[in-house]
Chains A and B, each alone.
Chain A
Amino acid sequence: MERHDTVEHDILVIGAGGAGLRAAIEAAERGLSVGIVCKSLLGKAHTIMAEGGIAAAMGNVDPDDSWETHFKDTMKSGKFINNWRMAEIFAKEAPDRVYELEEWGGLFDRTPDGRIMQRPFGAHTYRRLCHVGDRTGLELIRTLQDKVLHTGAEVYMETTITRLLKDGERVVGALGYVRETGRFVHFKAPAVIMATGGWGRIYKVTSNSWEGTGDGVILAYEAGAELVDMEMVQFHPTGMVWPPGVRGILVTEGVRGEGGILKNSRGERYMERYDPEKMELSSRDVVARANYTEVEQGRGSEHGGVYLDITHLGPEKIKKKLPTMYEQFLKLADVDITREPMEVYPTIHYTMGGVRVEAETGATTVPGLFAAGEVAGGLHGANRLGGNSLSDLLVFGRRAGIGASEYVKANGYSLEVDEDQIRQEKERVLRPFENPEGGESPYAIQSELQEIMQEHASIMRTEESLREGLEKVRALKERAPGVRIEGSRMYNPGWHTALDIHFMLQVSEIILMSALERREQRGAQWRLDHEGLDEELGKVNFVARKGSDGEVEITTREIEPMPEHLSRLFEED
């Protein structure tokens, strides 16, 4: 059999974005041996693309802010299918997590009285986003990265996990390979924390990097974990439109937070028609649909977007508060945003659904497997508020780190696995090299999938179109194992892509199936063949799991009623 290296840790963290790093720090500081695996170099995770800020009810600018208001904003925006216990913990703990970053060297813009500055953002009642210009995610990653490098945690960069390994019902490690050499590694660990982020790459127009292929959510699914709210995919209202090479790249909500105005080709400030109260700072689902509708109805810009104008802020303030946007448009699109409006259009940005976890510990439904950050579902419900992701990563990254540490300390399970699991997986991973010549290119399958999802699981959905998309994805799933790879195993992106598409296709099938079940208009799930919210569907989450026949099984799960101390908060309105 093909040989492999073996390493052993108390905790294996998969993913080195904000959640993974925060979890690793927590576990390492508790004295556990931690291994962190990531597909890219350390410090390049998608967290970097979070620009606008981190939401935490500290009340530095608006003293009336409180965890209760942040909780309510989060639940309302998620259309009440959120896990309310997660939202409560989140709103209460976010400020401490931000201060902790500050204590680790993270820097934020300041208020005149020397505290952390907070900016307004879509559907947050108060000015709540701590930020450093429009580079908040970079600051967060760099701070955590430095912290991790000064713990004893081991980082396995450019390493891909392809399968979780189980001993009976328990996850006890994972099999992966080093991208540089193609060599297999068996990671033995009594607890695994999944922190792999989202799967925006299944769409054609996306703000996500190549990494967002849904590995983590499908690794968990294949290990038996339950997934929740998979139909909920966030379109960010403002991605770049032109030139073609940058289509989908994020334009931070911070532009609107700083006063940016949306206009159509007639010069109308059309948000007046969609949300006259909150205008540009309405929730993302609302603004994304507005932008989409303006273009659909023929009021779009030159290259098929809408206009986002921040020129009134003046060059000095733009360069101070939005330096990255200024540089990005100037260099990549020949647009000087201090003098002319940007063209923007919705882009896939975030996935609200994910692995179902216990709010307190991040434990999934599979013993030994924990999840945190974007790969986990529940906190954001049907729509995520801008700025809530960065605080999510820190709050639940830390909690998963604690949860996994306590699990490891309380248990003394064997880490041995049936060698057959490993052998079969190696065979699967190497198959693209063995397939007969003339097999399809993995890039062709990937790009076909992206077209399908863009068309059929889009910002507006119908039963007919979803069904058609599902058929196409299933047909593609049949073709995928036949892809053929040339070259060696050494740093071979074609091979890497051949393995990515396995995850991408499976997550796409689950999204389409879940979207077929939720027959209503709720947050990011907008069914044109069903008018408005369905009260009954507001009481359930759709849960996906791998059935005993190996096929996707979708069931409903009732949402427990909120306890009195939380439900009371909404009565006061």
Chain B
Amino acid sequence: MESSQHRGASPETQKTVRINIYRGDAEGGEFVEYDVPLVEGMVVLDAVLYVQAHISPDLAVRWNCKAAHCGSCGGEVNGRPKLLCKTRVDDYEGEEIRVSPMRAFPLIKDLVTDVSWNYEVARSIPEFKPAEKAPFTMYEEDVERLYEPKRCIECFLCQDVCHVLRSHHKHPAFAGPRFFAKIQSLEMHPMDTGHRTEYLKEGRGGIGFCNITKCCTEVCPEHINITDNSIIPLKERVVGDYYDPAKWLMRKIRGRRNGE
């Protein structure tokens, strides 16, 4: 860090950084090289927005908060899913930087992909169904495991890295890690009376496709342990509901009562 007083003006150095950004649309595209002034502490999104403001105003990128809270700026840096606002340029010293869109979703333009599929999945998940009217009496120890999945900022990087989606394109039959974390937060809510194991096993959830490679956990910018704390407990719940004879019977009766 520099030791002089800096107010207002940014203490830009003369150095520049070269950044390769994917430019193109559904028809095709290529990486384009840009040289951007290097500023101390800059993140990849800073560089992309510099290009947009000074070199190529039609460069498409999503962003909002610039503080890793909103999850808008998911993309890939050197092929790895990353939040562009949280990826420091100085982490790549001596390396080439290649910024590209997420691969698991259809490309719209440049760094922007069509993520609307995620919202369809969200809509298909049976919603929170409270046992009683609020205010709830719930103790810290009853809810503490919910804080983790609720940290999710919906950047969809876990969806992007998941090979079930990325390589096998199982979008119509698989909800993906983001929504397993979501379902965990619903299923483990002490006041919830909804049922989602059928959704997970026979419905759109498709949790059986996941073979626990932990890629989702590795890329999560919120450090949510999706595999161990969401997916595995949900898989256990499915096993419990489907292969325990008493629960199997309950499920049949309940299903009939709900007219399913």
Chain A contacts to B: CB under 8 angstroms: 40-44, 46, 48-49, 99-100, 102-105, 107, 109-110, 112-116, 132-133, 135, 138-139, 142, 145-147, 149-150, 155, 157, 180, 209-211, 242-246, 249-250, 295, 300, 302-304, 323-324, 327-328, 331-334, 441-443, 447, 485-488, 490-495, 497
Query: How far is B70's CA from A46's CA once the two chains are assembled, in angstroms?
Result: 8
Query: How far is B123's CA from A431's CA once the two chains are assembled, in angstroms?
Result: 39
Q: B143 within 8 Å of A by Cβ?
A: yes
Kindly name the residue among B3, B53, B57, B150 whose own CB sees the greatest number of chain A CB atoms within 10 A: B57
Our pick among B6, B60, B69, B139 for the contact of A138 (Cβ within 8 Å) is: B69
Report whether A107 and B146 are in contact in the complex, using a CB–CB cutoff of 8 Å.
yes
Q: B16 within 8 Å of A by Cβ?
A: no
Report whether A41 and B62 are in contact in the complex, using a CB–CB cutoff of 8 Å.
yes
Report whether A493 and B116 are in contact in the complex, using a CB–CB cutoff of 8 Å.
no
Report whether B5 and A300 are in contact in the complex, using a CB–CB cutoff of 8 Å.
yes
Report whether B138 and A114 are in contact in the complex, using a CB–CB cutoff of 8 Å.
yes
Report whether B138 and A249 are in contact in the complex, using a CB–CB cutoff of 8 Å.
no
Report whether A44 and B71 are in contact in the complex, using a CB–CB cutoff of 8 Å.
yes
Query: How far is B49's CA from A447's CA once the two chains are assembled, in angstroms?
Result: 13
Query: How far is B146's CA from A150's CA once the two chains are assembled, in angstroms?
Result: 21
Asked whether A135 and B123 contact (CB < 8 A) given A40-B62, A48-B65, A334-B41, the answer is no
A41: chain B residues at CB < 8 Å are: 62, 72, 115
Report whether B128 and A146 are in contact in the complex, using a CB–CB cutoff of 8 Å.
yes
Report whether A142 and B150 are in contact in the complex, using a CB–CB cutoff of 8 Å.
yes
Report whether B59 and A493 are in contact in the complex, using a CB–CB cutoff of 8 Å.
yes
B52: chain A residues at CB < 8 Å are: 443, 493-494
Q: B66 within 8 Å of A by Cβ?
A: yes
Q: Which residues of B in the span 1-50 have a Cβ within 8 Å of any Cβ on A?
A: 1, 3, 5-8, 10-12, 25, 39-43, 46
20 residue pairs of the A-B complex, CB under 8 angstroms, read: A40-B62, A48-B64, A49-B67, A132-B150, A135-B69, A135-B150, A146-B122, A150-B123, A209-B65, A211-B64, A244-B39, A246-B66, A300-B5, A302-B5, A334-B41, A443-B52, A487-B58, A491-B109, A494-B52, A495-B58
Asked whether A105 and B128 contact (CB < 8 A) given A487-B58, A491-B110, the answer is yes
Report whether A327 and B57 are in contact in the complex, using a CB–CB cutoff of 8 Å.
no
**Which 8 residue pairs of A and B lie closest in terms of their CB atoms, listed nearest first?**
A243-B41, A494-B57, A487-B58, A105-B128, A304-B7, A244-B10, A209-B64, A99-B134
Report whether A110 and B140 are in contact in the complex, using a CB–CB cutoff of 8 Å.
yes
Report whether A150 and B58 are in contact in the complex, using a CB–CB cutoff of 8 Å.
no
B114: chain A residues at CB < 8 Å are: 180
Report whether B154 and A494 are in contact in the complex, using a CB–CB cutoff of 8 Å.
no
Our pick among B1, B8, B108 for the contact of A491 (Cβ within 8 Å) is: B108
B43: chain A residues at CB < 8 Å are: 245, 332
A246: chain B residues at CB < 8 Å are: 41, 66-67
Query: How far is B3's CA from A573's CA once the two chains are assembled, in angstroms?
Result: 50
B189: chain A residues at CB < 8 Å are: 105, 107
Report whether B65 and A110 are in contact in the complex, using a CB–CB cutoff of 8 Å.
no
B63: chain A residues at CB < 8 Å are: 209-210
Report whether A44 and B72 are in contact in the complex, using a CB–CB cutoff of 8 Å.
yes
Report whether B71 and A115 are in contact in the complex, using a CB–CB cutoff of 8 Å.
no
Distance in angstroms from B178 CB to nearest chain A CB is 12
Report whether B134 and A157 are in contact in the complex, using a CB–CB cutoff of 8 Å.
no
Asked whether A44 and B134 contact (CB < 8 A) given A105-B189, A107-B143, A114-B139, the answer is no
Query: How far is B57's CA from A486's CA once the two chains are assembled, in angstroms?
Result: 8
Query: How far is B147's CA from A456's CA once the two chains are assembled, in angstroms?
Result: 43
Report whether A49 and B138 are in contact in the complex, using a CB–CB cutoff of 8 Å.
no
A149: chain B residues at CB < 8 Å are: 119, 122-123
Report whether A443 and B53 are in contact in the complex, using a CB–CB cutoff of 8 Å.
yes
Our pick among B6, B65, B133 for the contact of A49 (Cβ within 8 Å) is: B65
Query: How far is B112's CA from A385's CA once the two chains are assembled, in angstroms?
Result: 37
Distance in angstroms from A487 CB to nearest chain B CB is 3
Give the residue name and chain of the B residue nearest to A447 (CB). Answer: B53
Distance in angstroms from B119 CB to nearest chain A CB is 6
Q: B215 within 8 Å of A by Cβ?
A: no
Kindly name the residue among A103, A116, A132, A442 whose own CB sees the greatest number of chain B CB atoms within 10 A: A103
Beyond contacts A44-B72, A142-B150, A244-B40: 13 other A-B pairs, Cβ-Cβ < 8 A, are A110-B138, A112-B139, A149-B119, A149-B123, A209-B63, A242-B1, A243-B41, A244-B11, A244-B39, A249-B65, A302-B5, A332-B86, A497-B57
Q: B137 within 8 Å of A by Cβ?
A: yes
Distance in angstroms from B69 CB to nearest chain A CB is 6
Query: How far is B119's CA from A44's CA once the two chains are assembled, in angstroms?
Result: 13
Our pick among B3, B25, B68, B135 for the contact of A302 (Cβ within 8 Å) is: B3
A147: chain B residues at CB < 8 Å are: 127
A493: chain B residues at CB < 8 Å are: 52, 57-61
Q: B218 within 8 Å of A by Cβ?
A: no
Query: How far is B84's CA from A331's CA once the two chains are assembled, in angstroms?
Result: 12
A102: chain B residues at CB < 8 Å are: 134-136
Give the residue name and chain of the A residue nearest to B12 (CB). Answer: A244
A242: chain B residues at CB < 8 Å are: 1, 6, 41
Our pick among A243, A249, A295, A324 for the contact of B42 (Cβ within 8 Å) is: A243
Q: B256 within 8 Å of A by Cβ?
A: no
A245: chain B residues at CB < 8 Å are: 39, 41-43, 46, 66
Query: How far is B103's CA from A543's CA once the two chains are assembled, in angstroms?
Result: 51
Report whether A328 and B67 are in contact in the complex, using a CB–CB cutoff of 8 Å.
yes
Q: B208 within 8 Å of A by Cβ?
A: no
Report whether B57 and A442 are in contact in the complex, using a CB–CB cutoff of 8 Å.
yes
Query: How far is B39's CA from A109's CA once the two chains are assembled, in angstroms?
Result: 39
Report whether A332 and B39 are in contact in the complex, using a CB–CB cutoff of 8 Å.
no
Distance in angstroms from B136 CB to nearest chain A CB is 6
